[in-house]
Structure 1
Amino acid sequence: MLSNYRQYWDLTKPKVVALIVFTALVGMFLAIPGLPTAQQALDGALGFLGIWLAASAAAAINQLLDARIDAQMARTSWRPLVVGKVKPWQVLVFAGLLIALSMTILVVWVNVITAVLTFASLIGYAVIYTVYLKRATSQNIVIGGLAGATPPMLGWAAITGMQGPWDWAYASLLVLII
């Protein structure tokens, strides 16, 4: 049974997702002047969880859509879907559950703008980058890097709710820096 959990864990690309949520945390900390209030800490924790779940779902979708290519590359040929330890429908259900849980947490307990931006980032990576850019241009990582650069903005949004133009300006600057 534990090995089944390991397969699903591996679908989430935990090392990549760790970097994503780390940069989201940076955005959260930069959004707060001084120590966080109790509400900001709660928003940050729930935002972190929602962003982590969405990034994990995007990673699973990426593996689902790239399984054929992954089977041909030594670096990715061990992935759970490629070796048959999970089936495509299981990956789809797993990713769908992660997305539903992520969006519920973000919409209900954080704020709608964080949910919208997080979902857009998920689509940017899991669909636009994976399905189109990887196959269309050698500049895929540069263009697709936008999805990877948005987590600081997501973190900022989780804390501030992007209430004014300065929030958008500061968060956009973080994306440009990344």
Structure 2
Amino acid sequence: MTSLAATDQGLLRQYLVLTKPRVTQLAVFCAVIGMFLATPGLPDLKRVVFATLGIWLLAAAAFAINCLIEQEVDARMLRTARRPTARGTILPQQVLMLSGLLGGAGMLVLYNLVNPLTMWLTFATFVGYAIIYTVILKPRTPQNIVIGGLSGAMPPALGWAAVANAVPAEAWALVLIIFIWTPPHFWALALYRSKDYEKAGLPMLPITHGPEYTRLQILLYSCALLACTLIPYALRMSGLLYLVAALVLGGVFLRYAWRLYRDYSDALSRSMFRYSILYLALLFGALLIDHWLGLLLT
């Protein structure tokens, strides 16, 4: 019995790894921010809970499919070689069953307990990431993360749709921020993991165009990102608190990009990658705090 329980726990742990929980958490966090920004007051908490659950389930399903499709590529990369699919410790049928159950449950929750618009948008995001990005773009073009980044940028729109049953310009402004953030975030990773990507046969920008060109692109996208983060203030979605946070956080991001361009090191590239994750969480957190502060002052 003890051995059987340990085996079950091991399988559950492998299933959890396939859903990429850290990435899922950041995506769901951005979706929740969209939910709270979609209404002048507090959104219906029951809707928030069900929307969060449904979006998490479909995101987890997409990541599981991604791991299955890329199992051979992952096995050749140090960063991903420990994934269950890469090690062959879990069967493809099990991954498909996991993804089907999670994705199906997510669609049912969103359709019946949130609204059909959110379900279809989230399903389109699933297809965009699991199929269009993973199967078509990633192995074929160094612009994979630019084009495919749209699916990863969708969570704020999904959250907005869940509460407002619509996706106005304000929601797309948040999508744009994540869309522009994605290339420098991933290219910083690709720079210090370039040997891994080359070994895996993936046409990442540092391999196809060289590290110096990649660093220039990171710098240019970082400038564009700083400009895009000012859009919520320009649209009067936010006030001075968010504006100051966007300028300070963006200034640090831009400084990383400039240093990376002028004096590259793997350690600096790794630091920028880690900061980029913290940056996005703090930026969207500042947007929410500013929103609530505005409500308290009115």
User: Structure 1 length normalisation: TM-score?
Assistant: 0.93
Q: Does 2:14 align with 1:7?
A: yes
What SS class does the counterpart of residue 89 from structure 2 fall into? coil
Amino acid at match of 1:139: Q
* Aligned residue pair count: 171
Cα distance between partner residues in 1 of 2:83 and 2:16? 11
1:92-130 superposed Cα distances (whole Å, 9 cap, x missing partner)? 111011111000000011000000000000000000000
Which residue pairs with 2:198 in the alignment? none
User: Structure 2 length normalisation: TM-score?
Assistant: 0.56
Cα distance between partner residues in 1 of 2:138 and 2:161? 29
1:126-168 superposed Cα distances (whole Å, 9 cap, x missing partner)? 0000001101210111111101110000000111111xxxx42
Amino acid at match of 2:169: A
Cα distance between partner residues in 1 of 2:10 and 2:97? 18
The match for 1:128 among 107, 132, 155 is: 132
Return the structure number with greater relative CO, CA threshold 8 A, min gap 6.
1
Q: Does 2:178 align with 1:171?
A: no
Cα distance between partner residues in 1 of 2:76 and 2:169? 43
Any gaps of 5 or more consecutive residues in structure 2? 1-7, 179-298
Which residue pairs with 2:60 in the alignment? 56
Cα distance between partner residues in 1 of 2:79 and 2:177? 29
Amino acid at match of 1:170: E
Amino acid at match of 2:99: A
Which residue pairs with 1:140 in the alignment? 144
Cα distance between partner residues in 2 of 1:67 and 1:84? 8
Q: Does 2:37 align with 1:30?
A: yes
The two structures, once aligned, show a CA RMSD in angstroms of 0.9
Any gaps of 5 or more consecutive residues in structure 1? none
Amino acid at match of 1:135: P
The match for 2:100 among 96, 102, 119 is: 96
Between structure 1 and structure 2, the one with the greater Rg is 2
